[in-house]
């Protein structure tokens, strides 16, 4: 029996990933930041529909001082629910976006994007790999924006590029333990990103769909299937890769 930790499992791509893991019989520890009730609904769905055990824990990736407490909660849950001291897979998915032009940029904005999308996942991974099984796997969620230059996304895109590069470095560091580290780069995806930007502004969708070879934007499931496949032994000979999952955005 395998156990996965998925950050940002309350919404969007992380939620879909948690459900896809459940379909494949993998137990899930998912985290939420603001939406506890949505996270608990994912846990209920996993337990009722997929018959796997799951729990939801609060994690704010910007609050590094809380990571020791989070790790303690994970260890207690592993012990009490699964009679285990280790877990198998980590999906570093939680993140925030939102554009800001350089001329208007505040340090607060910069730090939020930095801490959530890069610094937080780096130090969280440092904490968690201490009790991750050898031959496990990690998938990081970066972004196709790392290779683009849409105005307003300079910091977000640059930090996703950093996260992508970090994926390669850590793949090498963890290779002696046979832990594979890969990434997915979503293109525009209809999640809750931007606190529901695509639901609040459906007019944003069409232009992005028109830029996409397959004529639509992504759905969380499109990403979840790739993330869970990358974790699986089918990709046992693949490490240090960042795969764009965008249906051909700007192809």
Ligand X SMILES: NC(=O)c1ccc[n+]([C@@H]2O[C@H](COP(=O)([O-])OP(=O)(O)OC[C@H]3O[C@@H](n4cnc5c(N)ncnc54)[C@H](OP(=O)(O)O)[C@@H]3O)[C@@H](O)[C@H]2O)c1
**DSSP string of 12-54, one letter each residue:** HHHHHHHHHHHHTT-EEEEEESS-HHHHHHHHHHIIIII---E
158 is an interface residue for ligand X by CB under 6 A: no
Whether 156 sits among the annotated catalytic residues: the reply is yes
Q: What is the contact mask toward ligand X in residues 14 to 43, using x (rule: CB under 6 A)?
A: x-----------------xxxx--------
116 is an interface residue for ligand X by CB under 6 A: yes
141 is an interface residue for ligand X by CB under 6 A: yes
Gap between the Cα atoms of 14 and 31, Å rounded = 9
Q: Which of 164, 167, 182, 191 binds ligand X (CB under 6 A)?
A: 191
CA angle at 24 for the pair 195 and 249, rounded to the nearest 5°: 45
Structure tokens at 179: 């832990």
72 is an interface residue for ligand X by CB under 6 A: no
- Nearest alpha carbon to residue 136 among 179, 167, 175: 179
182 is an interface residue for ligand X by CB under 6 A: no
Closer by beta carbon to ligand X, 95 or else 136:
95
Part of the chain binding ligand X (CB under 6 A), chosen from 74-82, 122-130, 168-176, 190-198: 190-198
Q: Which of 143, 167, 182, 239 binds ligand X (CB under 6 A)?
A: 143
164 is an interface residue for ligand X by CB under 6 A: no
Pair 20, 93: CB distance under 8 Å: no
Indicate which residue of 32, 153, 156, 169 is catalytic: 156
Residue 219 CB neighbours (<10 A): 15
Q: Which of 22, 136, 188, 247 binds ligand X (CB under 6 A)?
A: 188
197 is an interface residue for ligand X by CB under 6 A: no
Smallest gap from residue 33 Cβ to ligand X (A): 3
C-alpha to C-alpha distances, 180 to 118, 129, 212, 242, nearest whole angstrom: 19, 12, 30, 12
Gap between the Cα atoms of 136 and 179, Å rounded = 5
Q: Please enumerate in sequence order all residues whose Cβ is within 8 A of that of 170, keeping only pairs 6 or more positions apart, or say none.
A: 125, 138, 181
Q: Which of 61, 90, 132, 231 binds ligand X (CB under 6 A)?
A: 61
Part of the chain binding ligand X (CB under 6 A), chosen from 12-20, 65-73, 124-132, 171-179: 12-20
Active site residues: 156
User: Would you tell me which residues interact with ligand X (CB under 6 A)?
Assistant: 7-8, 10-14, 32-35, 59-62, 93-97, 116, 141, 143, 186, 188-189, 191-193
């Amino acid at each position: 029996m395998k156990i996965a930790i998925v950050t940002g499992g309350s919404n969007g791509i992380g939620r879909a990933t948690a459900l896809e893991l459940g379909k494949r019989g993998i137990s899930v520890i998912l985290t939420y930041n603001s939406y506890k009730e949505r996270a608990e609904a994912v846990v209920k769905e996993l337990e009722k529909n997929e018959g796997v055990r799951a729990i939801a824990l609060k994690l704010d990736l910007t609050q590094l001082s809380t990571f020791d407490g989070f790790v303690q909660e994970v260890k207690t849950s592993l012990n009490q629910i699964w009679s285990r001291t280790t877990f198998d897979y980590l999906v570093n998915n939680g993140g925030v976006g939102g554009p800001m032009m350089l001329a208007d940029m505040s340090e607060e904005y910069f730090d939020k994007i930095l801490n959530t999308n890069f610094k937080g996942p780096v130090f969280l991974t440092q904490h968690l790999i201490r009790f991750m099984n050898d031959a496990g796997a990690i998938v990081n969620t970066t972004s196709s924006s790392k290779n683009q230059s849409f105005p307003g996304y300079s910091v977000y895109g640059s930090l996703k590029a950093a996260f992508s590069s970090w994926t390669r470095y850590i793949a090498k560091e963890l290779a002696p333990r046979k832990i594979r580290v890969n990434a997915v780069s979503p293109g525009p995806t209809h999640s809750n990103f931007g606190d529901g930007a695509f639901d609040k502004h459906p007019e944003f969708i069409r232009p992005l769909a028109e830029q996409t070879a397959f004529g639509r934007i992504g759905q969380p499931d499109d990403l979840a299937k790739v993330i869970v496949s990358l974790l699986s032994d089918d990709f046992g000979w693949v490490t240090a890769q960042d795969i764009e999952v965008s249906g051909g955005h700007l192809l």
